[in-house]
């Protein structure tokens, strides 16, 4: 049971031990799905915070590092209060201002558009903060061997970095994306600790550019080719639309025209999936490289991501969400976590016994912004 035998592995120094990560499925997830769905229904969606917590508790306990499971210590109440506070700070003023605009201005449509743009700008400005704080909350509620994780940087400066990188990405037509993503990852992982020991992240963005260039060039090629194809296939069928809407008004229903519309939408969906699959090739490379650049104590990470497996994960999750109308969402989280655990390996050793508990302050509430912005899947 005690694991102080790591000295035999070649890379280790005294006290270090190798690290293995695995995901062991356990019963109860289906029951959890149904319970969460029913209670969310009867509580007019308020239960969703507790539902999320139940799922995390279950899934965290299935993740085993060197045989010890992770533990999730967050509570539904913390998430509920976090969301309530953000609603009071952002949601309520937005509603009140929108309502007041009806009474106070001559052109409420214009004023509402201005308000919405202001809030959209605020949303983009604070997006990074939402991501960072949610990550910080989750880390502080994740325990392994009684020790919790932390994120020690400023969420505001991260938010500015994130916003700045978004601006730069769009100004360079995407070409700064690999470098910017690397920057963001560097900040996030540089700030991350387990107990009093910090993760380190360092590496160049250069190796990402070959894949990025291929994806960047192929995207418009695929879109144009697909549109031309759709045009060729359906261009001749446009005659079917002659008088279609007039007929609909009169209660007559033209089945052929409907099929053409359905086919066109199916074509566009296939295009979307195709583009997403293409970019998965880049994402896979990025994930692998980012893992390689990450170190903790004497250990280095390896993430065995393949394009095919990532596409399978993504499509499978998409299908689960669609077919179960979202009720099966815990399975999506499980698939994601299992994928990561199965494909993540750690080279080298960690001197686990030397890690002390973190003294960083702990958030009292969590994830309000992420909830408000509707960012995250789990």
Partner 1 sequence: MAVPHPAQLFDGQSATSHDVKVEVRSDGLVVTGPAGQSRRWTFSGLEAASPVRPGETLRLKHTSEPNARLNLPPGLAADQVLEQASHVAGGFNPGKALKFTAIVITGLALFFAVGYAMLNIAPQRIAAMLPAEWRDKLADHTENAFIKDARQCDNPAGKHALAALAGRVAAASSETPDFSVRVFDMPFVNAFALPGGRIVLTGRLIKQADSPEEVAGVIAHELGHTAHLHPEASLVRNIGLQLLISLGTGGSGGDTLGSVAGLLTMLQYSRDAEREADDYAVTILTEGAIDPKGLRHFFEKLSKKEWSIATGKWKDLSSMLSTHPGTGERVEFIKPLPPGEARGVIPDYQWKALKKICS
Q: Site residues (CB under 8 A) for partner 1? A: 1-4, 26-28, 42-46, 57-58, 60-61, 68-69, 71, 73, 83, 87, 91, 94-95, 97-99, 102-106, 108-109, 112, 116, 119, 143-148, 195, 352-357, 371-372
Q: Which residues pair with 21 in a beta bridge?
A: 65
Question: Among residues 102 and 342, whose Cβ is nearest to partner 1?
Answer: 102
Query: What is the rounded (10 degree) CA torsion for 188, 194, 195, 197?
Result: -80
Give me the least distance between CB of 146 and partner 1, in Å please. Answer: 4
Question: Among residues 193 and 317, whose Cβ is nearest to partner 1?
Answer: 193
Give me the least distance between CB of 258 and partner 1, in Å please. Answer: 23
Give me the least distance between CB of 319 and partner 1, in Å please. Answer: 26
Given a contact cutoff of 8 angstroms between Cβ atoms, the answer to whether 64 and 338 are in contact is: no
Exposed/middle/buried for 163, CB within 10 Å: 0-12, 13-18, 19+?
middle
Give me the least distance between CB of 290 and partner 1, in Å please. Answer: 25
Handedness of CA 231, 236, 240, 241 (dihedral sign): positive
Which structure tokens are listed for 305? 């991501």
Question: Among residues 119 and 209, whose Cβ is nearest to partner 1?
Answer: 119
Question: Among residues 32 and 305, whose Cβ is nearest to partner 1?
Answer: 32
Angle ∠(104,109,115) on CA atoms, nearest 5:
75
CA distance linking residue 320 with residue 159, whole number of Å: 32
Give me the least distance between CB of 348 and partner 1, in Å please. Answer: 17
Give me the least distance between CB of 372 and partner 1, in Å please. Answer: 7
Exposed/middle/buried for 21, CB within 10 Å: 0-12, 13-18, 19+?
middle
Given a contact cutoff of 8 angstroms between Cβ atoms, the answer to whether 13 and 298 are in contact is: yes
Question: Among residues 169 and 197, whose Cβ is nearest to partner 1?
Answer: 197
DSSP helix/strand/coil, 364: coil
Dihedrals phi, psi of 33, to nearest 5 degrees: -55, -50
Question: Among residues 79 and 310, whose Cβ is nearest to partner 1?
Answer: 79
Give me the least distance between CB of 35 and partner 1, in Å please. Answer: 11
CA distance linking residue 274 with residue 131, whole number of Å: 28
Question: Among residues 110 and 258, whose Cβ is nearest to partner 1?
Answer: 110
């Amino acid at each position: 049971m005690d694991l102080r035998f790591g000295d035999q592995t070649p890379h280790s120094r005294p006290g270090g031990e190798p690290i293995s990560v695995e995901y062991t499925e356990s019963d109860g997830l289906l029951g959890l799905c149904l319970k969460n769905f029913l209670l969310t229904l009867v509580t007019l969606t308020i239960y969703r915070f507790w539902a999320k917590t139940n799922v995390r508790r279950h899934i965290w306990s299935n993740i085993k590092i060197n045989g010890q499971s992770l533990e999730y210590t967050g509570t539904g109440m913390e998430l509920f209060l976090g969301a309530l506070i953000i609603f009071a700070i952002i949601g309520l003023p937005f509603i009140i201002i929108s309502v007041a605009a009806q009474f106070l201005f001559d052109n409420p449509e214009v004023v509402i558009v201005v308000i919405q743009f202001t809030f959209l700008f605020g949303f983009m400005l604070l997006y990074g903060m939402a991501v960072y704080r949610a990550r910080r909350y989750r880390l502080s509620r994740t325990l392994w061997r009684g020790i919790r994780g932390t994120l020690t940087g400023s969420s505001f400066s991260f938010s500015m970095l994130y916003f700045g990188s978004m601006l730069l990405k769009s100004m360079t037509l995407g070409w700064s994306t690999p470098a910017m993503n690397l920057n963001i990852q560097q900040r996030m992982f540089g700030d991350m600790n387990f107990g009093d020991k910090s993760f380190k992240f360092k590496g160049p963005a250069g190796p990402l550019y070959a894949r990025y260039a291929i994806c960047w060039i192929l995207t418009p090629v695929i879109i144009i080719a697909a549109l031309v194809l759709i045009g060729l296939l359906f261009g001749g069928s446009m005659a079917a639309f002659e008088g279609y809407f007039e007929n609909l008004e009169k209660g007559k229903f033209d089945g052929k025209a409907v099929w053409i519309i359905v086919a066109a939408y199916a074509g566009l969906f296939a295009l979307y999936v195709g583009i997403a699959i293409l970019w998965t090739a880049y994402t896979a490379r990025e994930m692998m490289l980012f893992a390689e650049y990450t170190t903790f104590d004497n250990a280095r990470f390896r993430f065995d991501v393949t394009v095919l497996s990532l596409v399978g994960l993504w499509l499978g999750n998409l299908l689960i969400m669609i077919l179960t109308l979202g009720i099966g969402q815990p399975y999506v989280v499980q698939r994601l976590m299992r994928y990561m655990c199965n494909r993540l390996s750690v080279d080298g050793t960690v001197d686990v016994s030397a890690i002390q508990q973190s003294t960083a302050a702990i958030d009292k509430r969590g994830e309000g912004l992420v909830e408000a912005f509707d960012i995250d899947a789990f």
